[in-house]
Amino acid sequence: MRSRLRPTIALGGFSLLIALLWQAPAQAHLGGDASSIDADRQVLHAQLRTVPMQQYSVHEITTEAGGEVREYATPQGTVFAVTWRGPLPPDLQQLFGSYYQQYQSVATAHPRPGMHRQLRVATGDLIVQSTARPRSFGGKAYVQSLMPAGVSIADLQ
């Protein structure tokens, strides 16, 4: 008698699925156009909330797994900063776009101390601050020359 294997999603498989969705490619990125932010929401199967501010807009993308990416865009629609937090790391290559190579070249030179990691990268115009702990990832990245006048780093939450 032959047994059939049926595809099932157990708790571990569900976690993997969420991890893949969280790391799915985002369309908007640093220096990119904010018009694709809704595509990010669709790819992540997430909810999008846009909060218009006086000098910029904040586009908050929240996933069912509890992850959150905020993309900060100028009134002209250029993404000048991104922040993230959640139980899984986002796809930084997608979030950073053309700035990812600058980040990667500096970040790989830093030692990786165990389960807890803090990283600060300042390379030219790109500034990245991130923390990683088990089930807790967060950070912010911004391009100084794209930040609107009067916006401070403290505004990027």
- Judging by beta carbons within 10 Å of its beta carbon (0-12, 13-18, 19+), is residue 5 exposed, middle or buried? exposed
Dump pLDDT digits (tens) for 102-131.
Answer: 999 888 877 665 556 888 889 889 999 999
What is the rounded distance in angstroms from the CA atom of residue 123 to the CA atom of residue 106?
Answer: 8
The pLDDT score that the predictor gives to residue 114 is 55
Residues of the chain below pLDDT 70: 1-28, 40, 43, 111-116
DSSP bridge partners of 48: 61
The pLDDT score that the predictor gives to residue 85 is 95
Neighbours of 120 (CB within 10 A): 12
The pLDDT score that the predictor gives to residue 143 is 96
* pTM of the complete model: 0.76
